[in-house]
Amino acid sequence: MTADIERLNAILDALRGGSVSRARVVQDDILSFRLWSAPDRLWDVRVFSVAWRIQSGARIIIGSDDDASTMRARVGILNGAILAGISVRPENMDSSFDFGDLQLRVFPVTSVVEERFWQQWSVRFPEGECIDIGPGSSWSCRGDARGSL
């Protein structure tokens, strides 16, 4: 599993340096944003997990249990932030997006690896492939360009 998570973290390293735009909460609980880098590189990130938060140091700025209006009002704090890196823990897929002064933390809510459960989060790459983190401690790649990852 260590080699597998190292491969995942290496794939996600491509997002480093991307600038956040269009950060928003859709359908009352799905966190969505884009990462832009270079003139035409765009990644779409969606957080489906029911357990996530944006923090600055020890201060929680916004959390997935906040009411929808609070989430919508505060999620814009991510816009313009530069992604310094993403780390995913192999034992539980606990994920951290590091934006310098801000961090986005995504927590798995089930240990069950079944297709009927949603992924915790996903990212669509510019070439069309999509990486899904979860459910449980799994990850997968969808799309035609799997070999390029």
Is residue 148's pLDDT more than 60? no
The radius of gyration of the chain from alpha carbons, rounded to an integer in Å, stands at 15
Cα angle 53-114-86, degrees, rounded to a multiple of 5: 35
Residue length of the chain: 149
The whole-number pLDDT of residue 135 equals: 76
Instruction: State the pLDDT at residue 111.
Output: 64
- Virtual torsion, Cα 123, 43, 90, 54, nearest 10 deg: -90
| Tens digit of each residue's pLDDT (9 = 90 or more) over 22-50 | 999 998 788 999 999 877 789 999 998 77
Question: What local confidence, expressed as pLDDT, does residue 74 receive?
Answer: 95
pLDDT in the model for residue 57: 92
| Residues 61 and 73 sit within 8 Å (Cβ to Cβ) | no
How many structural domains is the chain composed of?
A: 1
* Structure confidence at residue 141 (pLDDT): 87
- What pTM, to 2 d.p., does this model score? 0.88
Q: Is the distance from CB of 99 to CB of 115 less than 8 angstroms?
A: no
User: Taking phi first (over 0 means left), then psi (-120 to 50 degrees means alpha), and beta for anything else, what does residue 22 get?
Assistant: left
Which pair of tokens denotes residue 133?
């983190």
Q: What is the pLDDT of residue 108?
A: 79
At 36 the pLDDT is 93
Q: Which residues form the domain of 95?
A: 2-148
**Residue 143 pLDDT exceeds 60:** yes
pLDDT tens-digit map of 55-113:
999 999 999 999 989 999 999 999 999 999 999 988 888 999 999 999 999 987 766 66
> Tens digits of per-residue pLDDT, 115-137?
656 788 999 998 889 999 987 77
